[in-house]
Each structure stands twice: as structure tokens, then as C-alpha cells.
């Protein structure tokens, strides 16, 4: 009981900051979604929601955001897990290697943008011409550096999480299964994967959240009005912010937040059922 109280006291400042900076401000912004504008507080009901849903750029941004998430997150999780398995098989402390994989998270995105621009975005770059000759469309070429940046920046941290989960699996399980003739694939599917399912779930949710933050890199690569294939929902909200259309900005943010919340809640629901069944 005393430990719970101490934990609550330690977490209280963080929870208060979260409630004030995120929850309160989010609830406060709801008033803009039902008013004419920030400068005309006339009540308009659900008019803003209707206009946002009917806006082709908002629908385009939502479509691209979830398409990029659906492609990049599974690749990131699978590649991070593969690297974690390979590094874990090396044995040792691998402290230096872990530090190297965390470096991309520490490097500011703006410092690597010229490299990615010259390699993949410029129409005269080697990779742009190479992939164009291979039949890549303009939209695919625009998304390619986005995927690579997302993978490069987040793979290391995910790998560290997987390594932490792999280290707590008893080695005796692998030894006993190997004596029974289990191969590497069978060891992974019967021992490793069931043991790291909670970590796998957390890494997947974390990667989904990180994929929603890729807008910064997209903005640095392509500006406020990028190619339609990489026009994200954050582009829509950012452009309305500059136009002082707070009613559309907040309405789009509320719709997007509700959709993301539903997706994550469904994932937690199935994870909870899996935990109870096991």
C-alpha cells in the first residue's frame, strides 16, 4: 500500500501536466468545432464537421496518413524484431551497438534532410532516376524517402525494446527444445514469439504513434503543399492554422483523434482478451 502511494505521488506531477497540456486544451478546443470561426463565436452545430468531411483534401490526408501507417508500421516492427534477434544471437553486452542504433533518434531531422533530398527527392539524383527507370510512379517516389526516414529514425529504439524482452526469456527453454530437435523457426514460433507478445503489442502501438509524427519530415522534404501522395492530415490542419481557420483545424483534429483512439482501443481490447485467454 505504501509503495502504491509513493508511486502515485511520483506520477501525480506528470499526470497533472498531461491533463492540463493535453486533455484540458483538447476539451477547450471543442468549442471551436461548433462555432463559425475564432473571430465569430456564432453557434453552427455540426456544420464544421460536415464541411471537413466533405473536403477532398481532408479525405486525401486521412487516406494517405493511414496508408503510410499501414505500410510503414509492419515493416518497422518486423525489421526491428529481426535485428533484435540477430544482435541477441551474437551474445555479449552489445552496449556500443545499442548506442549506435539509438543515434538516429538523437540527430535532428533537419540535419539529414539535404542528404535525403539529394538522394531521393531531386529529379536529377541517382536513386530518383534509378527507381523511375524501374517503373516507380511519381507518388511511390515521393513516399520512398518518407518510409526510409521513418525506418531509420525508429528502428533502433524498437530494437532495444525487443532486446530487453528477449533477455528475460530463460535460456533453458531453448536448450531443452534444441535437444528435442527444434530448429530456429520452431524455436521462434513456439518460445520466442509467445514470450514477447506484450512487447510486440507495445512496440506496434508505439510505432503507430511515431508514424503520426512523420509529418515533420514530410514538411521538411516537400513543404506545406507536397505531392498528393504524401499530403497528410497534418498538412490539412497546418495549412488551416496559417489561414487562422481554427474551426476547421480543431474539427479535423477531433475527428482524427477519435479515429486513432478507436483503432488503439480496439487493439487493446483484443490484447486484453488474448491475455485473459492465455
Q: What does the pLDDT look like over 135-189, one tens digit per residue?
A: 888 888 889 999 999 999 999 899 999 988 988 888 888 888 887 777 788 888 8
Task: Supply the mean pLDDT for the chain.
Answer: 85
pLDDT of residue 277: 47
Residue ranges and CATH numbers for the domains of the chain are 40-277 (1.10.3720.10)
Residue 18 reports pLDDT greater than 80: no
Residue 207 reports pLDDT greater than 90: yes
pLDDT band at 268 (very low <50, low <70, confident <90, very high): confident
Residue 278 reports pLDDT greater than 70: no
Residue 237 reports pLDDT greater than 60: yes
The count of residues in the chain is 278
Residue 276 reports pLDDT greater than 80: no
Amino acid at each position: 500500500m505504501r509503495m502504491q502511494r509513493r508511486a502515485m505521488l511520483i506520477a501525480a506531477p506528470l499526470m497533472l501536466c498531461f491533463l492540463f497540456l493535453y486533455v484540458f486544451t483538447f476539451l477547450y478546443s471543442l468549442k471551436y468545432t461548433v462555432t463559425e470561426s475564432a473571430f465569430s463565436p456564432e453557434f453552427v452545430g455540426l456544420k464544421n464537421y460536415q464541411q471537413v468531411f466533405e473536403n477532398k483534401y481532408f479525405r486525401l490526408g486521412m487516406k494517405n496518413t493511414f496508408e503510410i501507417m499501414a505500410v510503414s508500421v509492419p515493416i518497422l516492427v518486423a525489421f526491428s524484431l529481426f535485428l533484435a534477434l540477430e544482435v541477441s544471437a551474437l551474445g555479449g553486452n552489445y552496449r556500443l551497438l545499442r548506442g549506435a542504433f539509438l543515434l538516429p533518434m538523437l540527430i535532428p531531422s533537419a540535419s539529414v534532410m539535404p542528404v535525403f533530398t539529394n538522394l531521393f527527392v531531386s529529379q536529377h539524383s541517382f536513386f530518383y532516376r534509378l527507381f523511375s527507370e524501374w517503373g516507380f510512379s511519381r507518388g511511390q517516389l515521393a513516399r520512398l524517402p518518407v518510409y526510409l526516414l521513418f525506418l531509420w529514425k525508429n528502428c533502433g529504439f524498437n530494437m532495444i525494446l525487443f532486446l530487453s524482452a528477449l533477455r528475460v526469456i530463460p535460456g533453458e527453454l531453448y536448450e531443452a527444445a534444441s535437444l528435442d530437435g527444434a530448429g530456429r523457426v520452431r524455436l521462434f514460433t513456439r518460445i520466442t514469439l509467445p514470450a514477447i507478445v506484450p512487447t510486440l503489442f507495445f512496440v506496434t502501438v508505439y510505432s503507430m504513434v511515431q508514424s503520426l509524427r512523420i509529418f515533420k519530415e514530410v514538411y521538411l522534404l516537400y513543404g506545406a503543399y507536397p505531392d498528393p501522395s504524401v499530403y497528410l492530415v497534418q498538412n490539412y490542419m497546418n495549412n488551416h492554422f496559417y489561414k487562422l481557420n481554427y474551426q476547421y483545424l480543431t474539427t479535423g483534429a477531433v475527428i482524427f483523434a477519435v479515429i486513432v483512439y478507436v483503432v488503439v482501443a480496439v487493439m487493446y481490447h483484443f490484447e486484453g482478451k488474448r491475455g485473459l485467454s492465455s
